[in-house]
Structure 1
Amino acid sequence: MPVRKASAEWRGGLQDGAGRVALGSGAYEGDYSYKSRFGDGSGGTNPEELIGAAHAACFSMALSNMLATDNHPPTAVQTTAEVTIRPEDGQPTITSIALHTVGTVPGITAEQFAEYAEKAKAGCPVSRALTGTTITLDTQFSS
């Protein structure tokens, strides 16, 4: 399996500095800042938002694969990840990630969809990398 890369650079102090992040694929490059990370200010993205995007994408792919493998190919799976960062032991810590997924899958029930979603949450590589974080899941379903 390939090794994926990303890079980041930070210049200056924490609150007055600025950074730039880039994905190795070239698909994204942008700014990040103290305000975009710890406040409601603009200034680009932040590490938690990027983790959320990675988690939502990984989970959606894992769930879609499980469904398709069992002959229930989804019409669509859309996931949002809400990443919470809070002080813990005096350090900013990602304390939880809430996954919200909406699936359209012909031929199965809402209960079956929720079961598949729980398995995908447990098995997707990003969930597995984040085992020290509380990960919750809620599902919405249409057939």
Structure 2
Amino acid sequence: MGLTSVSKPQGKRIYKQPSARSHSFPLRYLQLPAFILTGLGIALAFYFGVKHLPLAPQTETFLPTVTPSLSAPIVQSDPFAEAVKSATTAAQLAQVAKTSSDWQLVAQQWQTAATLMNSVPSDRVQFNLARQKAVEYEKNFQYARKNAEK
């Protein structure tokens, strides 16, 4: 490879290196196979690497034995989840309710759902949503109560 002279309009000569692409195989033909092989290599490394990772040694964990007391049951309830469960039941019952007693049951479920939504603590992430749902469930309760009075 030598230098090629190029003349400028003012008569000065500039010397440039010839382009590397002008005499070589076009690299764009190698890009797709290289990409495919790289992806395949990563996939295989992940597959075989994850399967053959050494497991951490298992240690014995001693948990204290807890004897439940009959006088005070331990119940950790989630009022938001319970309210959603009650609202779901109410909505399902409302789809098939025909008699006054059916609608009374629907109204009871909506009232329970609204009460539970109002009991969600203010430090919970769902607090604002719970307040909105409580208003919605209260409206549904009123609707079901009117149908029960018919």
TM-score range, shorter chain: under 0.3
**TM-score normalized by the length of structure 1:** 0.22
Structure 1 or 2, whichever has the larger Rg, is: 2
| Greater share of strand | 1
Give the TM-score of the pair, scaled to structure 2.
0.21
